[in-house]
Structure 1
Amino acid sequence: MIDDLRRLSVRDWSLAGLSFCALMMAVALGLEHLVGLEPCPLCILQRVAVLSAAAVFLVAAIHDPVGRAGAVIYGLLSLAAVGGGIAVVGRHLWLQSLPADKVPSCGPGLDYMMDILPLQQVLAQVLSGSGECAEIDFLLFGISLPGWTLVGFLVLALAPLGLLLAANRPRRGYRWQG
């Protein structure tokens, strides 16, 4: 099975990652527009992480580098985007685990903060959390949306790892001795 995965190209792994990013965004937008769940600021940052990974996968799929360096660069960039998403989800899950008396108060909306504050201060304020990020609006099989988003990011991490695997693929004409 590892040999089959090793045969996949950078483009194959990139298209798989891009497709999973599209699925994650479709679910997020469906829950927002069809179900009526409004995203909190941390949810929006998670979407930014998904879109960042999608952008890297798109460029990697179009470029489809033959050499190892390109696969490693795209693998590390997409892994950084996915890792950032996992970090934000971790913060979100931590906020949801707090007792009600320890939850930070709700702050101003993200749109308002983006209008009046510099980006660095907006990010600091969003990552410090607010009461709206601690609310659990939806459960599926007893798992909140950030929990499912964490599962999504962990599955998505397979694509950057696949890119790194593709970087270690033997070159044509070289016989693999493993």
Structure 2
Amino acid sequence: MNLTPITPSRLLALIALSGIGMLAFGLYLQHVVGLNPCPMCIVQRYALIGVVLVAAVGWRLRGWGLAVSGLLLALVAGFGGFTAARQSWLQWYPPEVVTCGRDFYGMVENFPINRAIPMIFKGSGDCTKVDWTFLGGSIANWSFVCFVVFGLLGLCVAVKAVKNR
């Protein structure tokens, strides 16, 4: 049995594939299950797209490029993790007045189309609402865990790339 240690490049490829799987699951929850993403969910998706892109580009780099991509990955994952942590906080301690977003039909009926379309891409729904749980955690909770793991793995890639240089 040949157990080779995982290389930084393979780790970045695994991160990219995991991120693609998470994005696919988010689209499944939106389009099949019918859960509307809130604005914070949309920001987390953009951060996840950033993680996937940085990991996919870094997968093919060597040397200092690999170290830089690991640091960029940690930075983008940190941004996504911060957004997910903020949403988790809002879910645990909801504010008195919700100002997170509008519903889809309210946007279309009350605004001209040139203002409604950008609002649609910002998301709809309430960021404090918990629509789906797995093992007691909301989507925001699990998103935070994944971003933290991606960030730590990005730092590991950077450290290993510097040591191998």
Alignment TM class, shorter chain as reference: 0.7 to 0.9
Asked if the contact 2:74–2:150 (Cα under 8 Å) also holds between the matched residues in 1, the reply is no
Amino acid paired to 1:37: L
Asked if the contact 1:56–1:78 (Cα under 8 Å) also holds between the matched residues in 2, the reply is yes
Match of 2:75 in 1: 80
Matched, 1:169 2:142: no
Q: Which runs of 5+ in 2 are unaligned?
A: none
Asked if the contact 1:95–1:103 (Cα under 8 Å) also holds between the matched residues in 2, the reply is no
Asked if the contact 1:71–1:167 (Cα under 8 Å) also holds between the matched residues in 2, the reply is yes
The CA distance in 2 between the partners of 1:106 and 1:49, in whole Å, is 18
Amino acid paired to 1:159: L
Instruction: Output one character per residue of 1:103-154: Cα deviation in whole Å (capped at 9) or x when no partner.
Output: 42454469889x65xx9xx9xxx8xxx9711111112222111111112212
Offset of 1:98 from its aligned partner? Answer: 2.0
Matched, 1:149 2:147: no
Asked if the contact 1:75–1:160 (Cα under 8 Å) also holds between the matched residues in 2, the reply is yes
Secondary structure of the residue aligned to 1:51 is: helix
Match of 2:32 in 1: 34
Match of 1:12 in 2: 10
The aligned length equals: 152
Secondary structure of the residue aligned to 1:134 is: coil
Match of 1:56 in 2: 54
Percent same amino acid among aligned pairs?
31
Offset of 1:9 from its aligned partner? Answer: 3.2
TM-score (norm 2): 0.77
TM-score (norm 1): 0.72
The CA distance in 1 between the partners of 2:9 and 2:125, in whole Å, is 42
In structure 2, the CA distance between the partners of 1:33 and 1:163, relative to structure 1 (3 Å rule), is same
In structure 2, the CA distance between the partners of 1:131 and 1:51, relative to structure 1 (3 Å rule), is closer
Asked if the contact 1:16–1:159 (Cα under 8 Å) also holds between the matched residues in 2, the reply is no
In structure 2, the CA distance between the partners of 1:10 and 1:45, relative to structure 1 (3 Å rule), is same
Match of 1:90 in 2: 85
Asked if the contact 2:91–2:130 (Cα under 8 Å) also holds between the matched residues in 1, the reply is yes
The CA distance in 1 between the partners of 2:70 and 2:82, in whole Å, is 18
Instruction: Output one character per residue of 1:33-85: Cα deviation in whole Å (capped at 9) or x when no partner.
Output: 221111111001000001001111111113x21x2x21221111111110000
Amino acid paired to 1:19: L
Asked if the contact 1:24–1:152 (Cα under 8 Å) also holds between the matched residues in 2, the reply is no
In structure 2, the CA distance between the partners of 1:159 and 1:102, relative to structure 1 (3 Å rule), is same
In structure 2, the CA distance between the partners of 1:14 and 1:98, relative to structure 1 (3 Å rule), is same
Secondary structure of the residue aligned to 2:73 is: helix
